[in-house]
């Protein structure tokens, strides 16, 4: 009875427009009916939200969410409320809240105006400061010291955009690179490939605490920006938002927050008892005194315009926006002279160039290594040589390319110091090249084996040396046979070059992930990038088809790429 009254009361409290917007049940109804609340959590967001293994999640934000869940349980009078966790990423968290897959997102999401158009935010109880981590004694202590330095941040995050905006004010030029995730970004700092890591202070603190030698690093500089981190929830359910906020208010009233802060940021935490060592900031203390859901824009003294219209449909105008100011620029190609800013279109084109460079060099490496290795494998008799050639092939094609590239970039330099100075794009080209070479060598080998043995024997009988046999008889035929599989390898290497973003080459996939975060227009960005990939792959396909036709042995038909046709090509 009580429950019925409660539900009816809650129902009548909901403002009428929420009915107009959608007919789906309110979050509280859903929770009551399913006796389950679903929390969106992160696998690795510092001490805010992380996994402690096997579907268990913990952290400052997660614990607050669990407290809210238990308040909801007693409010709904449920005897049992199951708390379910779903791991989210920065790419999917907003859509998962919008479509109701998760009820509360308890990660490390910044409350921004752009996001407020899609979701609602509870009052912030954690104000993040964006700062820099540097190696101790590097001489960097503020933005002013960054001239000519290399700065790293994480793909798909905001700090770099903030730094760009701030640096413009003080007229400083620096180089920006991006790590695939925070751990990779920190590794770039640790291995000396970057001079400073710009990111949320809690994440910097976490990475430093976790590193082999925390004493080597320090967090410096004035906060570049204040980011109100908040729990995300559905936009069309204000009743649920007020329930969540009430719960947060009571946590504040009970003085629980300082206790939680100590627990997560100043004491040892799982999984291995590290200490974050993040002191309570003035801004966070302020937020506890006057809780609010102000977006980040109201904490900033500089402005980044985000795409304003957000009705359905595509708006490709975003590509004419400046990457620093977010303003639409007259010159869409964004020459640098225009207000010292450049556009997303220009960035996209430069990303395309990087993709082609990496894939192109990679393919040359692959051909230079793969073809000889493949040919050698059909001729060598020495066991050790045959064995090591097979090992080469098996090694490079049986490890995911992402892992290989990472090892070339981060692990190999620890053992061979010569590798430290090799630029990232060459490392990726080499990794892609070897990965593809392993596959090409198999095709080359198969191509040669497809030629009837008699050809080789006939050439030998004519007095040619083995090398001459290969050069003048077998290779010309085999190379023609393998043009079709080489075509797919060439298309593959363009697609596989997407892994270059893992070692901070600013190519198309990195552009896609970073630009969709900055512009909040994922569909347009992905559409443009996908079209460019298709265009590139198809051009390569056409080009190699042309080569195939041009090199075709006259008199053979369309299906010249098999052994019988090659046989028929005898004069």
Partner 1 sequence: MSLDLSFYSWQLVTDYLAKGFIFSLKLTSCATLFGIFFGVFLALARISKFKSLSRSAATYINTMRAVPLVMLILWFYLLVPLFIGRPIGAELSAYLTFSLFEAAFFAEIIRSGIQALPRGQTMAGLALGMTYRQTVRYVILPQAFRHTTPILLTQVIVLFQDTSLVYAIGAYDWLKGFEIAGKNYGRPIEAYLLAALSYFVVCFALSRLVLILKNRLGMNGASA
User: Helical H runs in 450-520?
Assistant: 453-461, 466-468, 475-481, 483-496, 508-519
By CB under 8 A, tell whether 57 contacts partner 1: no
By CB under 8 A, tell whether 422 contacts partner 1: no
Structure tokens at 565: 């046709």
- The region of 13-21, 139-147, 207-215, 341-349 touching partner 1 under the rule CB under 8 A is 207-215
135: exposed, middle or buried (Cβ count in 10 Å: 0-12, 13-18, 19+): middle
Closest CA to 562 of 482, 486, 490: 482
Query: Shortest distance, CB of residue 352 to partner 1, whole angstroms?
Result: 13
Determine the Cα–Cα distance for residues 304 and 294; give it in Å rounded to an integer.
Answer: 16
Binds partner 1 (CB under 8 A): choice among 134, 224, 357, 512:
512
For the chain, give the number of residues: 571
Binds partner 1 (CB under 8 A): choice among 18, 36, 70, 92:
92
Binds partner 1 (CB under 8 A): choice among 21, 22, 142, 530:
530
112 within 8 A of 191, measured Cβ to Cβ: no
Q: How many residues bind partner 1 (CB under 8 A)?
A: 74
Interactions with partner 1, residue window 376-395 (CB under 8 A): 394-395
Binds partner 1 (CB under 8 A): choice among 162, 251, 481, 566:
481
Q: Which residues contact 498 (CB under 8 A, 6 or more apart)?
A: 355, 507, 508, 509
Interactions with partner 1, residue window 250-279 (CB under 8 A): 271-272, 274
522-528 — which CB contacts under 8 Å span 24+ positions?
A: 522/91, 523/314, 524/314, 524/315, 524/316, 524/318, 524/319, 525/318, 527/314, 528/316, 528/319, 528/348
By CB under 8 A, tell whether 101 contacts partner 1: yes
Per-residue mark of binding to partner 1, 484-503 (x: CB under 8 A): -x--x--x---xx-x-----
Residues 284, 288, 289, 290: is their CA dihedral positive or negative?
A: positive
477 within 8 A of 566, measured Cβ to Cβ: yes
Q: Which residues contact 512 (CB under 8 A, 6 or more apart)?
A: 525, 526, 529
Is 216 or 462 the residue whose CB approaches partner 1 more closely?
216
- The region of 7-15, 239-247, 281-289, 400-408 touching partner 1 under the rule CB under 8 A is 400-408
By CB under 8 A, tell whether 314 contacts partner 1: no
By CB under 8 A, tell whether 176 contacts partner 1: no
- The region of 131-139, 364-372, 460-468, 530-538 touching partner 1 under the rule CB under 8 A is 530-538
Q: Which residues contact 12 (CB under 8 A, 6 or more apart)?
A: none
By CB under 8 A, tell whether 446 contacts partner 1: yes
What's the DSSP call for residue 181?
A: S
Determine the Cα–Cα distance for residues 119 and 117; give it in Å rounded to an integer.
Answer: 6
By CB under 8 A, tell whether 212 contacts partner 1: yes
Query: Shortest distance, CB of residue 228 to partner 1, whole angstroms?
Result: 23
Is 100 or 291 the residue whose CB approaches partner 1 more closely?
100
Is 134 or 513 the residue whose CB approaches partner 1 more closely?
513
By CB under 8 A, tell whether 406 contacts partner 1: yes
Is 45 or 245 the residue whose CB approaches partner 1 more closely?
45
């Amino acid at each position: 009875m009580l429950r019925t009254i409660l539900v009816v009361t809650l129902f009548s409290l909901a403002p009428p427009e929420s009915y107009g917007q959608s007919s789906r049940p309110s979050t509280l109804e859903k929770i009551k009916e399913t006796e389950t609340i679903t929390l969106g959590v992160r696998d690795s967001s510092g001490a805010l939200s992380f996994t402690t293994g096997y579907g268990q999640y913990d952290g400052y934000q997660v614990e607050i969410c669990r407290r809210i869940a238990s308040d909801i349980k007693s409010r709904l009078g449920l005897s049992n409320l199951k708390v379910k966790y779903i791991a989210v990423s920065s790419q999917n968290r907003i859509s998962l809240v919008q479509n109701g897959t998760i009820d509360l997102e308890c990660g490390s999401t910044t409350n921004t105006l752009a996001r407020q158009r899609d979701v609602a935010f509870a009052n912030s109880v954690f104000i993040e400061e964006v700062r820099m981590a540097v190696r101790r004694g590097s001489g960097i202590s503020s933005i002013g010291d960054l001239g000519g330095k290399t700065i790293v941040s994480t793909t798909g995050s905001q700090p770099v955009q903030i730094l760009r905006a701030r640096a413009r004010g003080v007229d400083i030029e620096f180089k920006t690179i991006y790590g695939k995730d925070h751990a990779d970004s920190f590794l770039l700092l640790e291995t000396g490939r970057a001079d400073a890591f710009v990111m949320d202070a809690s994440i910097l603190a976490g990475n430093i605490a976790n590193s082999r030698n925390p004493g080597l690093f320090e967090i410096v500089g004035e906060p570049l920006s204040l980011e109100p981190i908040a729990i995300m929830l559905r936009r069309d359910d204000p009743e649920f938002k007020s329930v969540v906020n009430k719960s947060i208010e009571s946590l504040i009233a009970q003085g629980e927050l300082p206790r939680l802060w100590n627990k997560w940021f100043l004491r040892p935490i799982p999984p291995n008892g590290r200490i974050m060592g993040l002191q309570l900031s003035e801004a966070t203390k302020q937020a506890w005194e006057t809780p609010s859901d102000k977006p980040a824009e109201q904490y900033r003294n500089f402005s980044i315009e985000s795409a304003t219209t957000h009705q359905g449909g595509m708006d490709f105008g975003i590509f004419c926006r400046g990457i620093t100011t977010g303003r639409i620029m007259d010159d869409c190609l964004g020459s640098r002279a225009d207000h010292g800013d450049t556009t997303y279109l220009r960035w996209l084109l430069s990303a395309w160039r990087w993709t082609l460079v990496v894939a192109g060099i990679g393919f040359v490496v692959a051909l230079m290594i793969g073809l000889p290795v493949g040919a050698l494998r059909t001729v060598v008799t020495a066991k050790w040589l045959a064995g090591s050639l097979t090992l080469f092939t098996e090694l490079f094609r049986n490890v995911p390319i992402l892992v290989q590239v990472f090892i070339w970039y981060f692990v190999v330099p620890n053992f061979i110091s010569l590798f430290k100075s090799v630029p990232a794009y060459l490392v990726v080209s080499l990794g892609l090249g070897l990965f593809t070479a392993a596959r090409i060598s198999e095709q080359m080998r198969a191509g040669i084996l497809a030629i009837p043995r008699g050809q080789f024997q006939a050439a030998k009988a004519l007095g040619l040396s083995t090398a001459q046999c290969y050069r003048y008889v077998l290779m010309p035929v085999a190379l023609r046979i393998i043009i079709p599989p080489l075509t797919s390898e060439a298309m593959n290497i363009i697609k596989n070059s997407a892994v270059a973003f893992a070692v901070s080459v600013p190519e198309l996939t990195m552009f896609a992930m970073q630009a969709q975060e900055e512009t909040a227009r994922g569909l347009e960005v992905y559409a443009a990038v996908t079209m460019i990939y298709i265009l590139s792959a198809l051009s390569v396909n056409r080009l190699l088809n042309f080569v195939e036709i041009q090199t075709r042995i006259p008199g053979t038909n369309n299906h010249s790429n098999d052994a019988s046709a090659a046989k028929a090509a005898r004069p």
